Structures are given as C-alpha cells and as structure tokens.
Amino acid sequence: EDQVTQSPEALRLQEGESSSLNCSYTVSGLRGLFWYRQDPGKGPEFLFTLYSAGEEKEKERLKATLTKKESFLHITAPKPEDSATYLCAINFGNEKLTFGTGTRLTIIP
C-alpha cells in the first residue's frame, strides 16, 4: 500500500534557527508531491508541487526538494509567523491525494 510518513511529529525552533521537515513515501508510481501549510482552525493552504527527483521550489523562507524516496521542506531563519502544521501529500497516479499526518512547527521568539 502506498504510504506517506512525515517526521518529526513536532518541532520547536528558536527564531532564526534553520531546520528541515521530512516527508518519505513508499512509491508505486509517484505522480506529484504537494506541500501544504495549515494554521489552527483553518483549512490547508497550498505551498508547492514537485514532480520529479532533483526538483526544487522556493517561497520566502521555505524551500522544498524532492528525491526518489523523500522530500524535504527547508526553513531558513524562521519567524514566529511560520508556526503552523506542515502537511505533505502524494499523488500516486490517480486523481486523489494521500496526506501525511503533518509536522507541527513552533517558532519561539
């Protein structure tokens, strides 16, 4: 069965302390990998789509990368407003997305 695993479950960083979140998957035909951000009490908000190994995308302090088995969401010099849950989702070759359980990120001022 195709699966998506995110780690760590929770991460606390000091403001300005860079780190990375991980999304790994068992694959039988990856068609696309999506990163979403979710704030408390809100729906997930789209960040990035990656299609092939080696691809990278950036947005402000966030950079997403993709290999054949995993994706990383790198956060550089984070600010308190970057605190949120970050969700990874995989399209395994149909019209559906399979979501991971997310990483809850807290940035301490």
Partner 1 sequence: DAGVIQSPRHEVTEMGQEVTLRCKPISGHDYLFWYRQTMMRGLELLIYFNNNVPIDDSGMPEDRFSAKMPNASFSTLKIQPSEPRDSAVYFCASSFMAGVGDEQFFGPGTRLTVL
Angle at 5 between CA 87 and CA 31, to 5 degrees: 75
**Interface with partner 1 (CB under 8 A), residue from 2, 19, 32, 72:** 32
Q: Which residues of 20-54 are buried (b: 16+ CB within 10 A; e: fewer)?
A: ebebbbeeeebeebbbbbeeeeeebeebbebeeee
Residue 96 sits in the site that holds partner 1 (CB under 8 A): yes
Of the pair 60, 109, the CB lying nearest partner 1 is at 60
**Interface with partner 1 (CB under 8 A), residue from 21, 62, 84, 87:** 87
Tokens of 91: 């399209």
Contact code string over 53-72 relative to partner 1, x by CB under 8 A:
--------------------
Residue 86 sits in the site that holds partner 1 (CB under 8 A): no
Which residues would be at the binding site for partner 1 (CB under 8 A)? Answer: 31-32, 34, 41-46, 49, 51, 87, 91, 93-102
